[in-house]
Amino acid sequence: MSVGRETCFASLMRRRGALFVISGPSGSGKNRVISEVMKVRRNLKYSISVTTRPMRPGEKDGVNYYFVSREQFEDMIKQGDLLEYAEVYGNLYGTPRKPVEEILAAGEDVILDVDVFGARQIRERCSDAVLIFLLPPSVEELERRIRSRGADDEETIQRRMNSALGEISALPEYTYVIINDELDEAVSRLASIIDAERCRTSRISFDV
């Protein structure tokens, strides 16, 4: 890079968007942390996943998920329309590729909520992705949070607990870890990671 004498540095920099991938077990408080950080950080787009699981009461198509049939989903896989996908508890979940690529190209950041299997696929395809793992404060608190939902039977609760502990073992594969003890603190740490990644030179090109 060479710079002239009439140069305002900010105007010379062009930043590619960053892809933030958030994982965390059931009970980590991931959804709440993501929705809170989006209130305090602009230019952060949430990528809506596509799924074959049935819509739950209160959910809306195109808001919580794009709800599709298994046939439609498998067609998206064949067409290469998914950035990642995984089968969890018999349902397919995936991330449509095109909207993510469009947001990043426009210099805005994307935040994705995917499980450890999805995160692994994204890491392989986008080495530049920022992988963040959200942990509950303790195993006991994890179990309390899972039970407090009140809608699941004991077998489902145990299955969620075992699945959560399995996911946590993938933590070292992530770039960052945040313990969600106090919500404000967890949101603030995620915001700091976002702010820091926005200063990363590897995503900045210099128009000189």
Residues at the site binding a copy of itself, with contacts judged by CB under 8 A: 1-10, 13, 132-133, 135-140, 165, 168-169, 171-172, 174-179, 181, 188-189, 191-193, 195-197, 199-202, 204, 206
Residue number with CB closer to a copy of itself (61 or 185) = 185
List of residues 6+ apart from 113 with CB closer than 8 A: 22, 23, 30, 31, 34, 46, 49
Residue number with CB closer to a copy of itself (13 or 48) = 13
Residue number with CB closer to a copy of itself (45 or 203) = 203
Of 115, 121, 120, nearest to 163 by C-alpha is 115
Report how far residue 99's alpha carbon sits from residue 104's, in angstroms, rounded to the nearest whole number: 9
Report how far residue 56's alpha carbon sits from residue 61's, in angstroms, rounded to the nearest whole number: 10
CB of 93 to a copy of itself, least distance (A): 24
The CA-based diameter of the chain, rounded to the nearest angstrom, is 70
CB of 163 to a copy of itself, least distance (A): 13
Of 110, 82, 75, 106, nearest to 96 by C-alpha is 82
Residue number with CB closer to a copy of itself (5 or 42) = 5
Cβ–Cβ under 8 Å, residues 33 and 134 = yes
Residue number with CB closer to a copy of itself (33 or 50) = 33
Cβ–Cβ under 8 Å, residues 57 and 151 = no
Secondary structure of residue 96 in the 3-state scheme:
strand
DSSP state of 18: -
CB of 63 to a copy of itself, least distance (A): 30
Residue number with CB closer to a copy of itself (71 or 155) = 155
Report how far residue 112's alpha carbon sits from residue 208's, in angstroms, rounded to the nearest whole number: 33
CB of 149 to a copy of itself, least distance (A): 20
CB of 136 to a copy of itself, least distance (A): 7
CB of 140 to a copy of itself, least distance (A): 7
